[in-house]
Amino acid sequence: MIIFHGSDHIIRRPEYHAGRRNNDYGYGFYCTLFEDMAKEWSVGAGRSGYCNRYRFDTTGLTTLNLNEYPILTWLAVLLENRVFHLNSPLAREACNYLRNEFCIDYGSYDIIKGYRADDSYFSFAQDFLNGTISVSQLAASMKLGDLGEQIVLKSRQSFDRIEYLDSEEVDSRIWYPRRKARDDAARREYYSVDKMRYVKGDIYITRIIDEEMKRNDERLQ
């Protein structure tokens, strides 16, 4: 397959176990199948970047697709790696409970696929931990704004299978407004009254903890 990586510099040889430990799924090389998405991720406000293109041979590699699991599995993996501001006793208890009961062994896979916790997705997850939104609302929010799915190379074997093709300079004056517009659209939909109102009978984090629900609970599927 052809994959893309957005960065502030050209990366001809991705380095195994480099980058930041507190990325969504820990150390890894974070890519996407969508060129436009990589271009948006490569830029910042007033900072241009590069869209790096690679050929990636996945033959024989193991893949964990987190989008095939209930949303709380994705969140539990995120809690293992990202830094959340847990400002309430409920949020701290929720973090511990989800990590203990919903996380899976993701470290043994060569590749991980899943949502990218951009600014909006990250804030939606924090709202769930604080008891503001339900499981179903969290799952629905992950589809707002089409904020993107990422492919993450995790193992040495996967890094051996990636081949650099070329890079394209990305102008922040064009691509940062597109990135911001996508994020703003997700937030507008999220805060709409119809989608985010309290729904009687929905499952919130307090109920999950009180009733000691587990990862395979049918009510959470």
Per-residue pLDDT tens for 71-126? 999 999 999 998 888 889 999 999 999 999 999 999 899 999 998 877 777 788 88
Mean of the pLDDT values across residues 201-217? Answer: 93
Compute CA 136 distance to the chain's CA centroid, rounded to the nearest angstrom: 17
CB atoms near residue 156 (< 10 Å):
10
Please check the confidence at residue 194 and state whether its pLDDT lies above 70.
no
* 145 contacts 120 by C-beta, under 8 angstroms: yes
Q: What is the pLDDT of residue 147?
A: 59
Cβ contacts of 110 within 8 Å, gap of 6 or more: 61, 62, 63, 153, 154, 155, 157, 158
Q: What is the pLDDT of residue 185?
A: 82
Q: Which of 24, 13, 15 is nearest to 54 (CA)?
A: 13
Average pLDDT, the chain: 90
Compute CA 37 distance to the chain's CA centroid, rounded to the nearest angstrom: 13
Q: Residues of the chain with pLDDT > 90: what percent?
A: 62
**Model confidence, pTM:** 0.87
Q: How many CA atoms lie within 13 A of 126 on its CB side?
A: 14
Rounded Cα distance between 64 and 155, Å, is 12
pLDDT digits (tens, 9 = 90+) for 29-72: 999 999 999 999 999 999 999 999 999 999 999 999 998 998 99
